[in-house]
Amino acid sequence: MGFMKYFSLLIKPTSASCNLNCRYCFYKDEAKKRSVFNHGIMEYSMVETIMDRILNYFNEQTMITIAFQGGEPTLAGLEWFNHFFDYVNTHKKDFHHLQYTLQTNGYTINDQWIELFQKHNILIGLSIDGYGQIHDRYRKSNDDRPTFDVILTNYHRLVQAKVNVNILTVVTHDLAKHAARLYDFYRQEKMDYIQLIPCLPPLDETSVYAFKPQDYPLFFGKLWTCYIDGLNHGYRPYINLFDQWMAATNGIGAAQCGANGYCAMQYVSEADGSVYPCDFYCLDHYRIGSWSNHDPATLMMDDTTTAFLNETTLPTLCTHCPYVQMCHGQCKRQRVCFMDMTNGYCGIRAFLNEHGSTIHQMGQHFLKQTY
């Protein structure tokens, strides 16, 4: 196929609207800190503006990745998504290749949604925080009901329908104490693609839910031991963080934002067409502009974007760390969960001190299998 360009953006069709009321939701916190909390549902005309801007901009072989996120994106309704795909499929050129992901809480997935996911080959990121007791503690419906049973049933329906599903688990301070139980749950449910996301505290605040630096060696250390045990018994799930460290300890850069030590432009598109550089920073002073009057290049070159990308600096704690060349000090927004700057403690460093060499060895083993 020759040279291919890559472009990705994140669309929030329903702004901060959600049918669940998760206690630790970082997006609700962010949205509350800007002048407009909720922009409602993205209008069809805005969908068309955004997609015209992108499709007209790329005139050669381009892979365009679109991630739908929220709030809860499915609240935009099936008709919204049908319009979106109809519009893109009638306006795209042969050299435009599109791939889609959709992050959902899975609460209202039914046969029609499953059909849509199959038809457009959408990779689903489904939020399940592990076993019921812990999931239901934080992920409640708007009327305060537990959601676990519904969501686990929907997970199995998706798998049965051969939809590609990644499990997204938010690791709270609470869950960090129960790595082995979490692992047993994944194994029992035969979950193969798992993304673990440390629970963030609200911006510039602390919270009891948030993942703490000491949780890193506690949680990931135990989970790693379970992972090795699982491998010996034929269970080899993809776990984002382990694959990332197995690659990094063998000198391979990561695909995940922040793991290479710098920010990347995410083109986060709010329902009103506003664009922000990163999902963690959809705040007024990071608003770059609107798709109504910008194309990808002018958004990228905007002063707000440059300022955001240049904001990242390596913490002093990292400068003399033996792991800095593979860790790069991580994502600036997530650092608060990994490092206790006041006491000079880093949870990642403690984890790598203990498990770095087995992670490296296991990484080599997998690399040999792959190549």
Catalytically annotated residues: 279
72 CA to centre of own chain: 14
3-state secondary structure of 194: strand
- Please, what is the minimum distance in Å from the beta carbon of residue 302 to ligand SF4? 15
Q: By C-beta, is 274 or 330 nearer to ligand SF4? A: 330
Residue 257 in contact with ligand SF4, rule: CB under 6 A:
yes
- Please, what is the minimum distance in Å from the beta carbon of residue 43 to ligand SF4? 27
Other C-beta atoms lying within 10 Å of the C-beta of residue 193: 16
| Structure tokens, 316 | 């002093």
Residue 128 in contact with ligand SF4, rule: CB under 6 A:
no
Q: Rounded to an integer, what distance in angstroms lies between the CA atom of residue 20 and that of residue 288?
A: 29
Cβ density class 106-124: b for 16+ within 10 Å, e for less:
bbebeeebbebbeebebbb
For ligand SF4, which stretch binds (CB under 6 A), given 28-36, 144-152, 258-266, 268-276? 258-266
- Please, what is the minimum distance in Å from the beta carbon of residue 343 to ligand SF4? 12
CA dihedral angle for residue 226, residue 259, residue 2, residue 62, rounded to 10 degrees: 110
- Please, what is the minimum distance in Å from the beta carbon of residue 138 to ligand SF4? 22
Q: Rounded to an integer, what distance in angstroms lies between the CA atom of residue 151 and that of residue 138?
A: 14
Burial of 260 by CB count in 10 Å (0-12 exposed, 13-18 middle, 19+ buried)?
Answer: middle
| Structure tokens, 82 | 């049908």
Whether omega before 258 lies within 30 degrees of 0, making that bond cis, reads: no
Q: By C-beta, is 130 or 347 nearer to ligand SF4? A: 347
Residue 283 in contact with ligand SF4, rule: CB under 6 A:
no
Out of 212, 349, 355, 360, the only residue in the binding site for ligand SF4 (CB under 6 A) is 349
Residue 212 in contact with ligand SF4, rule: CB under 6 A:
no
Q: By C-beta, is 82 or 334 nearer to ligand SF4? A: 334
Per CB under 6 A, contacts with ligand SF4 among 303-342 are 317-318, 321, 323-324, 327, 329-333, 338-339
129: which residues sit within 8 A by CB, 6+ positions away?
135, 138, 139, 169, 170, 172, 175
Residue 280 in contact with ligand SF4, rule: CB under 6 A:
yes
Q: Which residues sit at the interface with ligand SF4, rule CB under 6 A?
A: 257-258, 263-264, 278, 280, 317-318, 321, 323-324, 327, 329-333, 338-339, 346, 348-349
